[in-house]
Structure 1
Amino acid sequence: MPFVRGKKPTATGGSRIPKLHAKATENQEEGSLQVKRSSAPPQGAPKKRTAFVDITNAGKLSFSLPGRKKETGSKVQKKTSSKGSSKNRANLKKTSSVRSEGPEEGKKQEEEERKEEEEEERAATPPVEELGVLEAPPRRELPPHLQRPQIPEQFDIDSEHQNDVSLTAEYAKEIFDYLKQREEKFPVCDYMAQQPSLNPGMRAILVDWLVEVQENFELNHETLYLAVKLTDLYLSACPVNREALQLIGSTAMLIASKFEERSPPCLDDFLYICDDAYKREELISMETSILQTLSFDINIPVSYRFLRRYAKCVGAGMDTLTLARFTCELSLLEMDLLPERGSALAAASLLLAMVTKDLGGWSPVLQYHSGYDVSQLAPLVRRLHAMLSSPPDDKLRAVRTKYAHKVFFEVAAIPVVAIETLESALLA
């Protein structure tokens, strides 16, 4: 009785096979059908077919590639038969020669035949010129602006960190050369003539307040330097009222925190430190104004980065580096030092700290990595020395109070070096 499609066959009344056994036999049949695709279907079942071509006929199909002529079956047969016949003849010759001759003569005969086959293969293969194999083109030299600088061995300060991928020691020299070039893109001059409502004292009070904000929020020193730089760049481009000065400083610190910090303070924190003098919308609007004025280019080189690099050149200790940091951070309050480049301020601060600590003058390795010699730094060093020697302002105590702490080696209490000692070091 044939199976009706879509219905299961019903067992006859006289069948005594349990249902479990019937299911097992059905599973066995299905397994055999999956393993052996070419097995015949059950009697009466509909004939199976694939969607495109039966898989069992795949070997019988022939595909023609474009640009090639089809070879007839006779040609293919001739090729295979000719190859097979030549091999058979060679094998027959070998076996007959080995049987007729002795073992030594048979070996000689095999070697001669092998040599003949190698010579035939060499003759059949065309030379390299005919195959079209081209020689490798000559290696071109990179243009000068793409070539990596060759650092002399006595000036190499980064080779000891080659295995530390986080420091990128192989690119350190190029990175700082690039930062030094970018300094020319952010010049700042004395902009107080364009600000009728401001004066240098107001700006100094704002910077002194930003130092306190950086210390209370425990922000990086790079954040403080970048915030002061953003403030000066914005004030040099836009006239503002004195009531908006603190709003500009706090917004600049917010932008710098987003750029430098791993976990920057939120906007409400900056509203709190301003004693809620400004609204949330005003701070967001000022942030937009600053970023648009600077064309969203806030990757500005700051002197603190150069200072750490130069201190590494001479292996300066933390006490010497902190003394140079104190001088460099105190210079942020001075309006007349705004036009100076950050790299030059860092080099002059380190030179003054080394002379104060009696660690020698400007070494050749510092001159190589900074690009400044003593004659270029001498005028700026004298101005920094005069800044340290002047009596402190009672209204601007944040920097001196900060560096009078034990954490900073109490460098603010170190006496200023005598001017005679400094002059002799600069003239050496």
Structure 2
Amino acid sequence: MPLLRGKKSSVSTGNRVPKLTSTSSENQEEGPQVKRSSSPPHGAPKKRTAFIDITNAHKVHISLPGRKKETTKSAVKKTTSGSVALRKLANLKKSSSVGSEGATAEKEKTEEVKPGEEETPTDAAAPVEELVAAAPPVVREVPAHLQKPQIPAEFDIDSENSEDTYMCPEYAKEIFDYLKQREEKFVLCNYMPSQPSLNPEMRAILIDWLVEVQENFELYHETLYLAVKMTDHYLSQTPVHREMLQLVGSTAMLIASKFEERSPPCVDDFLYICDDAYKREELISMEAGILQTLSFDINIPIPYRFLRRYAKCVSAGMDTLTLARYFCEMSLMDMELIPERGSLLASACLLVALVTRDLGGWAPILQFHSGYQTSDLAPVVRKLHAMLVAPPDDKLKAIRNKYAHKVFFEVASLPVVDMDILEIVLLQ
């Protein structure tokens, strides 16, 4: 039963708690404690903080509003010695500039020790080296391998975005150089010979359907490109029956949406667009299968990111960029362009768009940021031109209808540039 304040305790002799004088003295020596709202009853032992003997709670100083800080003798002594050392350092700096040594020594005597302060023999005999060591450290130079590469002023396209943190202007070029290095890990080849149930036409139909899914769900273009890349990497390692091909594509789009979108569609949405041809368990099982096959490494460099970067180098207008995007999206359905790296494919698409718009060829700034010369782009440009001049398939209309809209400047209705003009540009 708790003891009531202001009353004497009526505890029997057998239950009386002995007075712990040693404990109270320990609490007083351990430092200031937080004052409690109520004081212990007369004769009762002083309350202690839990685990005070096995923690460093006695070293923590808690400052409450409206209360003055309490300091112990040890804290005052440390502060005094620290302030004396700092004043000594300042006096030494002053003495170096003052010519007369006698006046400086007189000044040090009056300033370094004040009434109530004690100077230890260690402080008095402290060498100059120890006082100089208390000064701020000297800034060291950055090692050569960590220094940021210098970009010529005529090739600098990121300084104008110095106030935009989302554009990462400080290391934008390093990011794209890293993505270009990662492309070597994701180089593909023509995997159709290892797929007995599939052919290039079936894959093209799947890509055409994924474009419609991207439009209906209003997903980012990056989501579409990443879904196609994951589909190709999965098919290059796992044989798939033709009836499961749509499940692979829709599941890849689900994973890409989780990676790229702010509000990705849910599983039920993808089951709905498949016309309930698959069950929920099948889609989730396929998702786990794709991720395990790709070793959960789905940050695959896609050509769309490089295309936007390279278009910025020449300050291309939105109509020119959209035309290059149309060429790049059409290349997703061509099996011949699967082995091409994303940065090289994006460069070729932009070059064809620039020539189509009569905006020149491959400028030096594009060579600097892409790392490709015109001779490197020639084989891919010829493949792109052959794809664009081929007669359109009536079954594959999603991309052409998409870019024939006014929102996309009706770039799909533009005539394809003559190959002779492209050859002249490639020879420059």
> Which interval holds the TM-score relative to the shorter structure?
0.7 to 0.9
Alignment CA distance shift 1:4-1:161 (3 Å): closer
Matches within 5 A, 1:52-71: none
Alignment CA distance shift 1:421-1:292 (3 Å): same
Report the equivalent of 2:399: 399
- Normalising by structure 1, we get a TM-score of 0.72
Alignment CA distance shift 1:130-1:188 (3 Å): closer
Report the more deviating stretch, 125-134 or 223-232.
125-134
How big is each residue's C-alpha offset from its partner over 1:76-134, in whole Å with a ceiling of 9 and x where there is no partner? xxxxxxxxxxxxxxxxxxxxxxxxxxxxxxxxxxx999667348789x66652476849
Shift of 1:5: 1.5
Are 1:379 and 2:379 an aligned pair? yes
Structure 1: unaligned runs, 5 residues or longer: 8-33, 38-44, 53-58, 64-110
Report the equivalent of 2:244: 244
How big is each residue's C-alpha offset from its partner over 1:216-260, in whole Å with a ceiling of 9 and x where there is no partner? 111100000000000000000001111100000000000001111
Report the equivalent of 1:234: 234
Report the equivalent of 1:389: 389
Alignment CA distance shift 1:343-1:116 (3 Å): closer
DSSP-derived class of the 1:166 partner: helix
Shift of 1:148: 1.8
Are 1:117 and 2:106 an aligned pair? yes
Alignment CA distance shift 1:337-1:119 (3 Å): closer
Alpha-carbon distance between aligned partners in 2 of 1:268 and 1:130, rounded to the nearest angstrom: 70
DSSP-derived class of the 1:228 partner: helix
Report the equivalent of 2:184: 184
Report the equivalent of 1:315: 315
Report the equivalent of 1:169: 169
Q: How many residues end up aligned between the 2 structures?
A: 336
DSSP-derived class of the 1:181 partner: helix
Report the equivalent of 1:157: 157
Alpha-carbon distance between aligned partners in 2 of 1:115 and 1:213, rounded to the nearest angstrom: 83
Alignment CA distance shift 1:5-1:224 (3 Å): same
Alpha-carbon distance between aligned partners in 1 of 2:131 and 2:364, rounded to the nearest angstrom: 59
Alignment CA distance shift 1:244-1:46 (3 Å): closer
Shift of 1:377: 0.4
Please tell me whether the aligned partners of residues 226 and 302 of structure 1 are also in contact (alpha carbons under 8 angstroms).
Answer: yes
Shift of 1:165: 1.3
Alignment CA distance shift 1:127-1:372 (3 Å): same
Please tell me whether the aligned partners of residues 234 and 293 of structure 1 are also in contact (alpha carbons under 8 angstroms).
Answer: yes
Please tell me whether the aligned partners of residues 162 and 170 of structure 1 are also in contact (alpha carbons under 8 angstroms).
Answer: yes
Alpha-carbon distance between aligned partners in 2 of 1:254 and 1:394, rounded to the nearest angstrom: 28
Report the equivalent of 1:257: 257
Alpha-carbon distance between aligned partners in 1 of 2:102 and 2:133, rounded to the nearest angstrom: 31
Paired AA for residue 192 in structure 1: M
DSSP-derived class of the 1:170 partner: coil
- Normalising by structure 2, we get a TM-score of 0.72
DSSP-derived class of the 2:393 partner: coil
Paired AA for residue 238 in structure 1: T
Please tell me whether the aligned partners of residues 355 and 417 of structure 1 are also in contact (alpha carbons under 8 angstroms).
Answer: yes
Alpha-carbon distance between aligned partners in 2 of 1:112 and 1:377, rounded to the nearest angstrom: 76
Alpha-carbon distance between aligned partners in 1 of 2:73 and 2:362, rounded to the nearest angstrom: 82
DSSP-derived class of the 2:171 partner: helix
Paired AA for residue 140 in structure 2: R
How big is each residue's C-alpha offset from its partner over 1:344-382, in whole Å with a ceiling of 9 and x where there is no partner? 010000000000000001111111111111010011111
Alpha-carbon distance between aligned partners in 2 of 1:268 and 1:119, rounded to the nearest angstrom: 81
Alignment CA distance shift 1:408-1:133 (3 Å): closer
Shift of 1:384: 0.6
Matches within 5 A, 1:24-103: 46=42
Report the equivalent of 1:90: none
Report the equivalent of 1:366: 366
Shift of 1:139: 3.2
Alpha-carbon distance between aligned partners in 1 of 2:365 and 2:102, rounded to the nearest angstrom: 73
Alpha-carbon distance between aligned partners in 1 of 2:383 and 2:165, rounded to the nearest angstrom: 40
Shift of 1:418: 1.3
Paired AA for residue 374 in structure 1: T
Structure 2: unaligned runs, 5 residues or longer: 1-5, 11-35, 49-69, 75-99, 113-123
Are 1:142 and 2:136 an aligned pair? no
Report the equivalent of 1:350: 350
Paired AA for residue 336 in structure 1: E
Report the equivalent of 2:225: 225
DSSP-derived class of the 1:417 partner: coil
Alpha-carbon distance between aligned partners in 2 of 1:238 and 1:51, rounded to the nearest angstrom: 70
Shift of 1:338: 0.5
Alpha-carbon distance between aligned partners in 2 of 1:400 and 1:143, rounded to the nearest angstrom: 50
How big is each residue's C-alpha offset from its partner over 1:261-317, in whole Å with a ceiling of 9 and x where there is no partner? 111111111111111111111000000000000011101110000000001111100
Report the equivalent of 1:67: none
Alpha-carbon distance between aligned partners in 1 of 2:108 and 2:280, rounded to the nearest angstrom: 90
Alpha-carbon distance between aligned partners in 1 of 2:222 and 2:134, rounded to the nearest angstrom: 55
Please tell me whether the aligned partners of residues 149 and 174 of structure 1 are also in contact (alpha carbons under 8 angstroms).
Answer: no
Alignment CA distance shift 1:62-1:325 (3 Å): closer
Alpha-carbon distance between aligned partners in 1 of 2:231 and 2:104, rounded to the nearest angstrom: 87
How big is each residue's C-alpha offset from its partner over 1:381-413, in whole Å with a ceiling of 9 and x where there is no partner? 111111111111111111111101111000000
Report the equivalent of 1:88: none
Alpha-carbon distance between aligned partners in 2 of 1:257 and 1:112, rounded to the nearest angstrom: 76
Paired AA for residue 117 in structure 1: E
Q: Which has the larger radius of gyration?
A: 1
Paired AA for residue 139 in structure 1: R
- Identity in percent: 67
